[in-house]
Amino acid sequence: MGQTDRDAGARTIFRSATDTIRRAVRAAARSRPRIKRLLAQTELAAGLVEHTLAQGVPGIIQPRPRRITIAITAHCNLRCIGCRYGRDFMVGEQLTLSEVKDLLDDARAAGVELVRLYGGEPLLHRDLPAMVRHSVDLGLATYITTNGLLLRQKIDALFDAGLRNITLGFYGTAEAYDRYVGRADRFRKLEEALRYVRSRYGSELSLQLNYLVMRPSCSLPALRAAWEFAERFDMTFHTDLIHYSLPYFTDGTEGDLRFTHDDLPAIENFVTALSDLKRRHPVRIRESLASIHSIPDWLMKGPEMRVPCDAKNLIWVGADGSVQLCYVTFRLGNIRQCPLREMLFTETHRAAARSAFRLDCPNCHCERDSRIMKDLASRIRYASPQRTV
């Protein structure tokens, strides 16, 4: 055996031992909120040190996949203004149960800890409960991102499979919601579905509202209505920003979703109100204040917002089997041609992790909270509210 093979074997053994320890600590933390918070703070502190050192020694950035996002289907039961899924993005594509099981097996062996199943609309996939069960049985923290409309019909099987965490795409309330999703009477059906979920499972299910900040939703009345909705169904409150680089997003038929500099006062008022809600309700809003303060710059600067990316921790899999480092770019292969395990920790994977950190890409604002908190300059800059010019 050559030295290269011995080094590779040693790295594999070390990674396996480290992953075993991490899983044991995380398993203990799930039932102990204080330990969980301490673990998160420790990881952010380690990330801050790594990102600071990497400014001078970029070679220390190495792929360490901890999260995998799997678009199990491109089918969708809505026609949202800002999304191309189900129309001209991966039309008709869908992963099989066998493909997803193999993905999950390889992901766990590689050290992945968190699995996100989404679409399209994942509740349309008949094998979603089996996918959840397999993921949970592997000891992976598992959640789905859904529009929620089919939860009344699907939640019992998903709960039985072990699902305990759901994030919900959210675009406004009442008529504003129906207008954005392109279907009448959907907001009322969403409310009915969530009432059923809460009445049947109570606090056993964790629900998170993912509020999309775009021009139509960036107002104080819209924020208040969404906040009241989150309180009514006991949901944590998270904000996503309208995208400029995701391949499946669009800014509407006339560009009416994306912000212009004329919208800056509305954005700053929105951020001020959101910051106040964070101070008063730190448990319901988990995002850091620094990340909230950075929102105007993300929206106004777009790709020119230069905060190093930690996509080295992520793997994204599309409904057509394509594998990328992240939602936007850095293609690694396709599981229909090569298993995931053979794509990970290769030179292509390592180069992608370093390129992501340097932002040699279209750039985006995915994972903006962890990116802000791991970048010393950004932490300092956004400790207080900023005005964008």
Amino acid identity of 98? S
Mean pLDDT over 78-105 rounds to: 93
Mean pLDDT over 90-118 rounds to: 97
Mean pLDDT over 286-313 rounds to: 95
Q: State which of 37, 60, 83 marks the end of a domain.
A: 60
Q: Is there a single domain that holds both residue 293 and residue 253? A: yes
Question: Sign of the CA dihedral 55, 378, 114, 90?
Answer: negative
> Over the stretch 165-195, which tens digit does the pLDDT of each residue have?
999 999 999 999 999 999 999 999 999 999 9
Q: State which of 60, 84, 108 marks the end of a domain.
A: 60
Question: Strand 322-324 and strand 314-317: pairing?
Answer: antiparallel
Residue 31 is part of which domain span? 3-60
Q: Is there a single domain that holds both residue 8 and residue 118? A: no
Mean pLDDT over 10-30 rounds to: 52
In a domain, 338, yes or no: no
Classify residue 26 by burial, with Cβ atoms within 10 Å: 0-12, 13-18, 19+.
middle
Question: Of the candidates 344, 345, 361, 353, which has an alpha carbon nearest to the alpha carbon of residue 313?
Answer: 353
Range 61-100 burial, b when 16+ CB lie within 10 A, else e: bebbbbbbbbbbbbbbbbebbbbbbbeebbeebbbeeebb
Number of domains in the chain: 2
Q: Please check the confidence at residue 208 and state whether its pLDDT lies above 60.
A: yes
CA dihedral 122, 123, 128, 129 (to 10 degrees): 150
In a domain, 346, yes or no: no
Q: Is there a single domain that holds both residue 18 and residue 167? A: no
Q: Is there a single domain that holds both residue 11 and residue 91? A: no
Q: Is there a single domain that holds both residue 32 and residue 158? A: no
Residue 380 contacts by C-beta under 8 Å, 6 or more apart in sequence?
Answer: none
pLDDT at 11: 44
Percent of the chain past pLDDT 90, that is, above it, reads 77
Mean pLDDT over 335-339 rounds to: 97
pLDDT at 329: 95
pLDDT at 1: 53
Q: Is there a single domain that holds both residue 79 and residue 128? A: yes
pTM greater than the 0.85 cutoff: yes
Confidence at 248, pLDDT banded by 50, 70, 90: confident
Q: Please check the confidence at residue 28 and state whether its pLDDT lies above 60.
A: no
pLDDT at 234: 97
Quote the mean pLDDT of the chain: 90
In 10 A of CB 169, how many CB atoms? 19
Percent of the chain past pLDDT 70, that is, above it, reads 88
Confidence at 7, pLDDT banded by 50, 70, 90: very low
Q: Is there a single domain that holds both residue 78 and residue 166? A: yes
Q: Is there a single domain that holds both residue 11 and residue 93? A: no
Distances (CA, A) of 315 to 35, 67, 69, 297, 368: 26, 6, 6, 26, 17
Q: Is there a single domain that holds both residue 225 and residue 276? A: yes
Confidence at 10, pLDDT banded by 50, 70, 90: very low
User: Bridge partners of 315?
Assistant: 68
